[in-house]
Structure 1
Amino acid sequence: PPDPAHCPPRLEGEQAQVADELRNRVVEASFSITLLEGVTGSGKTEIYMEAIAACLEAGRQALVLLPEIALSAQWTGRFARRFGAEPALWHSDLGGRLRRVTWRAVADGTARVVVGARSALFLPFDRLGLIIVDEEHETAFKQEDGVTYHARDMAVVRARMSRAPVVLVSATPSLESLANVGAGRYRHLRLNARHGNATMPEVSTLDMRADPPERGLFLSPLLTGAINDAIGRGEQAMLFLNRRGYAPLTLCRTCGHRMQCPNCTAWLVEHRARHILTCHHCGYDEPIPQTCPKCADPDSLTPIGPGVERITEEARATFPDARILVMASDTLNGPAATAAAVERIARREIDLVIGTQIVAKGWHFPHLTLVGIVDADLGLGGGDLRASERTVQLLHQVAGRAGRAEAPGRVLLQSYVPDHPVMQALVSGDFESFMQQEAEQRRPGFWPPYGRLVALIVSADTPDAAELTARALGQDAPRLDGVQVLGPAPAPLAILRGRHRHRLLLRARRNIAVQPIVREWLSRVRPERGARIDVDIDPVSFL
């Protein structure tokens, strides 16, 4: 079993103070909520492991939730070094037999510490004494298929039921958690400095209007020059683009035809390594055609825009001697492959890491000093009210991979809108002021977290059934003070997996209980044959 006295860290200053605070919460053995906010590289993991140690000393069980199972490999290694034993794992990649063994070990109390994905919340803990939600701001904690729930919020519920403390951990907390701190519902602990002698990286924008890449390429000469310099010094560099595949759109140069999924309102993404076009929503794929399906012109189909495969192709041509590793969910299938990749980076067998959002989470690469964001503007479009908040969080996390040891780090953001508030917040490092501005924009209109949202998603086999059901919901919408219903309207993803979709959005003031209102509303509407209505309280996706 994990031994709390095995290899305790030497903590000093604010780290020691915060660790003592968390230990006290565990010793109290009562329900409490603490937000642990610390800059990237400040040692948050080592500090909350001291809370786990206190939990073990008290003879109770601890649960740690991670947003990505890929993270579990490096995390379990750090845990084993601290406690001399590995924790129990719980995620979708486990085989049936191991799941049964783990489930029983949790129930009889022999599994003292469990680390897992959001579904680990529902394990039958015998004596749960602590819950940690690492990277609490991550949208991956939201379950959107089947039973919809947010694991961060359910962790708070589970902790209350178990009379245990819950610790929410992030370098870039969600506005929801910050609002709860402001309202006095959550305690707030902060770590303002990186561990040891490490300093925060220097962040600057590359204005793509002033320093554009060569035609047909996507990396600015300033960025490629910086990568060359870093590799020349024997350091490591990273390129980040949150887009899988080779190109997000394939277009016919002759007739303008766009390759679209037959089951969804979405373009097919080229995955050149596998010689296919695929839909990232339903999984449909087809071989890349030699001629245009519409005008039959040969060799007229051309990829538009970059994915991570295309950036890798450009990097191999630009840095022919560099040892390159690609980290994306379709190149690393499971925690074992991720662990092997991380090990290669740590052993300095890699010069340039190219990755999607999988590289943003919690990794510690001490020799990595330069991070280049290929398209910093990517997350800013669309109708998502949290677009700016999410972009700041994601890019701040990616930037945090740079300069985590003695060598100083540098981050270059390629952007066509360098004056955007998101870019300015990343350059200044003033996350707090940015989140205050976000709050001021949302508060007057009662947008979350200052109001409640409920999404009603109507889907049906036929367009008519979906539209008639959505229209019936709109006509019977509640008309109450402090409640507004927007829609119905076709969903941005108007067809998904062959089903036609419409959306309505109920917005209410924070002090209004929305569940009874929605329940009563649905009781008055009878869906058309073949139609269904899904309800998503506090949605994070608006597709």
Structure 2
Amino acid sequence: MVSVAANPSRQFSPHSRVAVLLPLPLAGLYDYLTGVESLQAGDFVAVPLGRREVIGVVWGEATGGVAEAKLKPVIRRLSCPPLPAISRKFIDWVAGYTIAPPGAVLRMAMSVPQALEPVRDLVACRAAVVLPEIKLTEARRRVLRVAGDLPPLLPADLAREAGVGPAVVKGLLEAGALEPVPMAPPPPFASPDPDHPGPSLSPGQQAAADHLRQAVAGGFSVSVIDGVTGSGKTEVYFEAIAAGLAAGRQSLVLLPEIALSAQWLERFRRRFGVEPAQWHSELSDAKRRDTWRAVAAGTAKVVVGARSALFLPYKELGLLIVDEEHDAGFKQDDGVAYHARDMAVVRGQLGGCPVVLASATPSMETVANIASGRYTRLHLPDRHAGAALPTMDLIDLRRDPPPRGFWLSPLLVKAVEDTLAAGEQAMLFLNRRGYAPLTLCRKCGHRLQCPHCTAWLVEHRGAGRMVCHHCGHHVRPPTKCPQCEAEDSFAACGPGVERIAEEAAHRFPNARIGVMASDTVTGPQQAADFVRRVAEHEIDLLIGTQIVAKGYHFPLLTLVGVVDADLGLDGGDLRAGERTHQLLCQVAGRAGRAERPGRVLLQTFQPAHPVMVALTSGGRDDFIEAEAEARRLAGMPPYGRLAALIVSGPEAGAVDDFARKLARAAPSLEGFQVIGPAPAPLALLRGRHRRRFLIKVRRDVALHGPLRAWLAAVPAPSAIRVQVDVDPYGFL
């Protein structure tokens, strides 16, 4: 592990030695000579690496492991702001905690190489003081007249103001009748107005907002807005953002589904007058470049983003907010495995700024931190503006099953019919994409499986293909079985949202139906349009996966029907009960958010399951306490520690051999238990065979030191990859 020097802004004189961190998954720092320039810690520099040139960051003093005669000089320093000291400390901390190469973490902070290039001034035009002797057409006269009356304009703007084509302006520039004027580009984001009128807050909201305003004025703290769905948590933390803006500091809001945040952005615009800066994978390269620069310069005052926004180089971050903090979307499993909620708390502590977590169903980790006094709970038990929470009832599928070949029970069908007849909207929820999760041959039982993964191919009938949801492999549905060669023998098993939509079209022929899943809503613009259509009642019946549970407010939506409430309860996942409870609470919260009362119907084969009892009785706290006690007895998180090692490679035999070698060298320490190796549930993923270790550690036993020493003692061959996942959230 590397660390930022004790003096994070140290200057390095010409011809001295510096350590540079490169955004590559390499071990440690590389020493270079400064050359003829003086450098400081945090500077972005171009350095030689073998035969190529790479961009890195001056991290501190040289490590001294290489003789000076063998060192190469830094090629140049880039003319952009240095990486802030807090960002460098954060990168070191994340690398140490996740046992990841620091360069791999740095790569997340340097995700936009174009942003490190010099900012080019724009070139405006103004009329020359002395006009050259040129032929003046009427179009040219208009251009010169406008250029003389107005301040310097960009060529395109000048042409538009004069009512001429761009070629006219270009010709005048070439002839010298117009003079070029360098012009700094305008700021890419308008500043939100903290004094812009906001909504009236209830007494409970106001008390929570007052607490957050005081927190913004102080140092590091963690506050949890624990409010039921529809209680106005967003408006409360908007007041904290307003306080941060008034203090001249930046704020970051992390959302689990930034590409699907149309309503959130509209609420922000109403509160602050403008939109915030956004950070997510759907942005264009130019927008990402401008946003990265604006964050580094401090001109992007509020950023809303996905988990990767945590690694942007904030000039003066004063507030961190994690909305829907319980959401599993904040956990990154590929590359550097980290949980953005937990790393946000660390970032706040390093920067001395407050952190706000918001959820209607806080995670067990957050509940444990509230109980220990590390976090402060701000409770909002009531919906805003007097709206009532929906009633929740179970449909026991053992007593009221759907007809053969269908998936909606008669009770749910009747409830949807009554809702639509009343001029209201309904939602059918099933957390499964596509048409059917499994396709098999009726004659021989052969199942269509991905050739690269241990996973069935999912039929997407609308797109006419079979898809692996893990690696993206897709094929056209075969006309005959590859095993027994029977013609037209395949049967779709089980429902996905497409199949529910097909049944709904049959049962409710006059309803306007819309399907909302990651396959049908693929970006911010599509999401915004879909949300608008629902809000304006262009859709009567909404059918969706988990993305419909992300805080949407539809006043006419009064019925939510959960097609398979048991989905997710099985499979041996440590958090299966917790996750199912959270997801169904969030989905149920879409119903009855305005003056019309809401109703939720849950189809289940397990009505006595603790999750179903908690949902229908409203006993959330009892469920959490029972879940916590079971975790305590088992020594599981948050009352114990877990880490996972995933050994993978292209050859199964080589993976098994290395996994056994690794097992023989496992630490033998009290309170440090190594389970495995065993085939991972996804034993083949993207063509790589996978074996899994699970490390279970008591809270009072060190995890990182023994784990790091164990891995160092058994280096992996070049074809074998060992991925470390500290605090795993999934077990595939």
Q: TM-score, normalised by structure 1?
A: 0.99
Corresponding residue of 1:410: 599
Report the CA distance between 1:461 and its aligned residue.
0.8
Contact 1:71–1:362, Cα closer than 8 Å, also in 2: no
Query: Are the counterparts in 1 of residues 647 and 692 from structure 2 also a CA contact under 8 Å?
Result: yes
Return the match for 1:17 from 204, 207, 215. Answer: 207
Question: Which position in structure 2 is the counterpart of 1:354?
Answer: 543
Alpha-carbon distance, 1:229 to partner:
0.2
Q: After TM superposition, give the deviation of residue 529 of structure 1 in Å.
A: 5.1
CA distance in 1, matches of 2:259, 2:364: 26
Q: Distance in 1 between matches of 2:349 and 2:655?
A: 40
Q: Is the CA contact 1:72–1:116 (under 8 Å) kept in the aligned structure 2?
A: no
Q: Is structure 2 residue 663 aligned with structure 1 residue 469?
A: no
Structure 1 segment 99-118 matched on structure 2, within 5 A: 99-118=288-307
Would you say the 8 A contact 1:468–1:528 is kept in 2? no
Query: Does residue 507 of the first structure (1) align with residue 696 of the second (2)?
Result: yes
Structure 2 CA distance for aligned equivalents of residues 231 and 513 of structure 1: 58
What residue number does 1:74 align with?
263
Name 1:244's counterpart in structure 2: 433
Tell me the CA shift for residue 528 of structure 1: 4.4
- Structure 1 equivalent of residue 198 of structure 2: 8
Is residue 334 from structure 1 mapped to residue 523 from structure 2 by the alignment?
yes
Select the residue among 76, 83, 91 that pairs with 2:280. 91
Letter in 1 for 2:209: A
Shift of 1:537: 0.1
Q: CA deviation at 1:513?
A: 2.5
2:712 corresponds to: 523
From 127, 149, 154, the equivalent of 2:316 is 127
1:484 aligns with 2:673: yes
The letter for the 2-side match of 1:381 is D
Give the 3 Å change call, closer, same or farther, for CA 158–349 of structure 1 in structure 2. Answer: same
Cα distance per residue 1:362-407 (max 9 Å; x no partner) = 1111110000000000011112110000000001000000000011
- CA apart distance, 1:74: 1.4
2:581 maps to which of 370, 388, 392: 392
Q: Which amino acid aligns with 1:186?
A: Y
Q: 1:511 Cα deviation (Å)?
A: 2.3
- Partners of 1:532 and 1:12 in 2: how far apart? 54
Identity of aligned residues (%): 63
In structure 1, the partner of 2:237 is 48
The one of the two structures with greater contact order (alpha-carbon pairs below 8 A, sep at least 6) is 1
- 1:174-189 maps to which residues of 2 (within 5 A)? 174-189=363-378
CA contact (8 A) 1:471 1:488 kept: yes
Q: Tell me how far apart the structure 2 counterparts of residues 528 and 76 of structure 1 sit (CA, whole Å).
A: 48
Larger Rg: 2
Q: Which residue of 2 aligns with 1:313?
A: 502
Question: For residue 16 of structure 1, what is the amino acid of its counterpart?
Answer: Q
What amino acid is aligned across from residue 66 of structure 1 in structure 2? Answer: L
1:31-79 CA deviation, whole Å, 9 max, x = no partner? 1011110000000001110110111111111000000123322111100
Checking the alignment, whether the CA contact within 8 Å between 2:549 and 2:590 is kept in structure 1 is: yes
Instruction: Report the Cα distance in structure 1 between the residues aligned to 2:585 and 2:716, rounded to whole angstroms.
Output: 44
Cα deviations across residues 259-293 of structure 1 (Å, max 9, x unaligned)? 01000110000000011111000110110011111
Residue matched to 2:570: 381
Asked whether the equivalents of residues 484 and 508 of structure 1 are also in contact (C-alpha less than 8 Å), the reply is yes
- Superposition RMSD on alpha carbons, in Å? 0.8
Q: What letter is aligned with 1:3? A: D
1:375, 1:413 within 8 Å by CA — same for their partners in 2?
A: yes
Q: Which of 18, 22, 37 is equivalent to 2:226? A: 37
Structure 1 residue 475: Cα displacement: 1.5
- For structure 1, the residue ranges without an aligned partner over 5 or more in a row are none
Instruction: Spell out, residue by residue over 1:235-279, the C-alpha distance to the aligned partner (whole angstroms, 9 max, x if none).
Output: 000000000000000000000000010001100000000111110
Q: d(CA) in 2 for partners of 1:42 and 1:334?
A: 28
Give the equivalent residue in structure 2 for 1:165.
354
Map 1:201-350 to 2 at 5 A. Answer: 201-350=390-539
Of residues 1-10 and 51-60 in structure 1, the stretch that sits farther from structure 2 once superposed is: 1-10
Q: Is it true that 1:371 corresponds to 2:560 in the alignment? A: yes
Asked if the contact 1:461–1:498 (Cα under 8 Å) also holds between the matched residues in 2, the reply is yes
Q: How far did residue 196 of structure 1 move?
A: 0.7
Q: Work out whether residues 469 and 526 of structure 1, in 8 Å CA contact, stay in contact via their aligned partners in 2.
A: no
| Secondary structure class of the residue paired with 2:491 | strand
Query: Is 1:401 matched up with 2:590?
Result: yes
1:58 corresponds in structure 2 to 247
* Number of residues of Structure 1 aligned to a counterpart in Structure 2: 542
Q: Give the letter aligned to residue 192 of structure 2.
A: P
CA contact (8 A) 1:61 1:109 kept: yes
- 2:384: which partner in 1? 195
Q: Per-residue CA shift, 1:283-325, capped at 9, x if unaligned?
A: 1011001111111111110000000000000000000000111
Letter in 2 for 1:270: E
Q: Distance in 2 between matches of 1:72 and 1:208?
A: 35
Relative to 1, partners in 2 of residues 1:430 and 1:70: Cα closer, same or farther, differing over 3 Å?
farther
SS at match of 2:394: strand
Amino acid across the alignment from 2:356: V
Distance (whole Å) between structure 1 residues aligned to residue 721 and residue 553 of structure 2 = 45
Distance 1:451 1:385 in 2: 12
Q: Are 1:534 and 2:728 an aligned pair?
A: no
Tell me which stretches of 4 or more aligned residues in structure 1 moved more than 3 Å: none
Determine the structure 2 residue equivalent to 1:26: 216
Paired with 1:18 and 1:34, the residues of 2 have a C-alpha distance of 10
Q: Determine the C-alpha separation between the residues in 1 that align with 2:658 and 2:730.
A: 21
